[in-house]
Amino acid sequence: MNRARVTALLIALTVSGLSACGDDDKSPSSASTAPAVVDAEKADQLYELGETADTGAAEIRVTKVTDPAQGSPEPVPGRRFVAVTFSIASKADVPLRYRAGQFQILGDSSKDFYTEVPDPDGFSGATIAPGKEVTGSMLFDVPIQEKDIRLVVEPPGAEGDVVEIKLAD
């Protein structure tokens, strides 16, 4: 994996997500206005489908993958939709804020990130209370030729560390 490319993309997404997503919620959060720096050692955490990724502040688990998935409108020729259902359980002492931009698909053949498809019923972000769990689903637009895809997550409260979860056995 090209660590510099992953790091630069995650920093850009973090900065744009934080600047574009203001809210009136005054609760404590793990989000900060400074860009996150990805720890290169932790960027290689790779979990199997069904394993629980423990980030310290949260536990993330992919519970279902539908590939290909239905969506509206249909994907353009040469692409497919992949639906990912996941749960996030907070282990933190303060509420954790998370946003859809913290979740992406990474393709193996091209090393490109694939982002979500807007879905009115899908996960878009929320605040998770200490000790609580939230489930969500997201739809991603991925080229048909990508076979070994992984969900890349910058978990809430992980201060820029990322985990990767394989989306196939």
Tokens of 8: 């630069």
pLDDT at 81 over 90: yes
Whole-prediction pTM: 0.70
**Any idea where the domains of the chain sit in the sequence?**
3-166
pLDDT at 71 over 90: no
Write a three-state SS string for the chain.
CCHHHHHHHHHHHHHHHHHHCCCCCCCCCCCCCCCCCCCCCHHHCEECCCCEEECCCEEEEEEEEEEEECCCCCCCCCEEEEEEEEEEEECCCCCEEEEHHHEEEECCCCCCEECECCCCCCCCEEEECCCCEEEEEEEEEEECCCCCCEEEECCCCCCCCCEEEECCC
Q: What is the per-residue pLDDT across 106-140, written as a single tens digit (0 to 9) for each?
A: 888 767 778 788 877 888 888 999 999 999 999 99
Angle at 137 between CA 134 and CA 139, to 5 degrees: 155
Annotation: CATH topology of 3-166: Immunoglobulin-like (2.60.40)
